[in-house]
Amino acid sequence: MVGAGISTPSGIPDFRSPGSGLYSNLQQYNIPYPEAIFELEFFFHNPKPFFTLAKELYPGNYRPNATHYFLRLLHDKGLLLRLYTQNIDGLERGEPLFPLHVTSADVMADRVPCCPVCTGIVKPDIVFFGEPLPQRFLLHVVDFPMADLLLILGTSLEVEPFASLSEAVGSSVPRLLINRDLVGPFTWRPRRRDVAQLGDVIHSVERLVELLGWTEEMQDLVQRETGKLDGRDR
């Protein structure tokens, strides 16, 4: 389970970090309250703030960091059953979640993208507050009881129903929280096998990679993928 805190080292502000989070820097987006930027009703009332943020998050502006590559390594090793992310930056996949070909020229030119046929606003394929979660989210019913380790990285565990997934693994399954601060059930309903590694996510991930003996593999992966990004952005 991951959240905005895994992308702050890439330079993308999270919601809640004091001083650097979006909540502390709202003026530039001209929104009445922080959640508005991701609210469906507000989006159709005024889509500009969302597209200002979308432009900011376009590929090339930000790059994956060690945490994203660690997730990739878990996947490559066949150890990652599923990644549940709240992020819309797409850095776990190396691409944004909204269809670039339709919207990029408009977004880059600070225009709200509209459908050439019906003239309606193009809504990006992300889940706004006020929208149901995609069917795929229901996979958690099968996934969580199957897991034998739950990793939770860079999230305040404040947004439901995502947050409650942290309680959906078996009671004897270890849960490892890697975050700046203690959050959610790690504070109010800790379990015997919980482990909280508090501090900067990059530092913690690098330490974990080292303990796993994967440092060299990780360096190779980062080098390979950075080379690809250099080629793409050139």
Active site amino acids = 101
The one-letter code for the residue type at 206 is E
In the stretch 13-52, what mask flags binding to ligand CNA with x, by CB under 6 A?
Answer: -xxxx---xx---------------x--------------
Counting residues that bind ligand CNA (by CB under 6 A) gives: 29
Nearer of residues 32 and 170 to ligand CNA, judged by Cβ:
32
| CA–CA separation, 86 and 42 (whole Å) | 19
Residue nearest to ligand CNA (CB): 5
Of positions 36, 151, 183, 205, contacts ligand CNA by CB under 6 A:
183
159 counts as binding ligand CNA under rule CB under 6 A: yes
Judged by CB under 6 A, the chain residues 60 through 119 that form the site for ligand CNA are 86-89
Nearest approach, Cβ of residue 119 and ligand CNA (Å): 28
Q: Which is nearer to ligand CNA, 85 or 144 (CB)?
A: 85
Alpha helices in the chain (DSSP H): 40-45, 48-56, 66-76, 100-108, 140-146, 185-188, 201-212, 215-233
One of 156, 169, 185, 186 touching ligand CNA (CB under 6 A):
156
Handedness of CA 97, 102, 105, 107 (dihedral sign): negative
Question: 126 Cβ partners below 8 Å, 6+ apart?
Answer: 88, 97, 98
Selected from 51, 65, 179, 186, the binder of ligand CNA by CB under 6 A is 179
Q: Are strands 175-179 and 195-198 parallel, antiparallel or unpaired?
A: parallel
| CA nearest neighbour of 163 among 142, 183, 134 | 183
Any residues with CB less than 8 A from the CB of 158 and at least 6 apart, and which?
A: 16, 183, 184
Site residues (vs ligand CNA, CB under 6 A): 3-5, 7-9, 12, 14-17, 21-22, 38, 86-89, 154-156, 158-159, 179-181, 183, 200-201
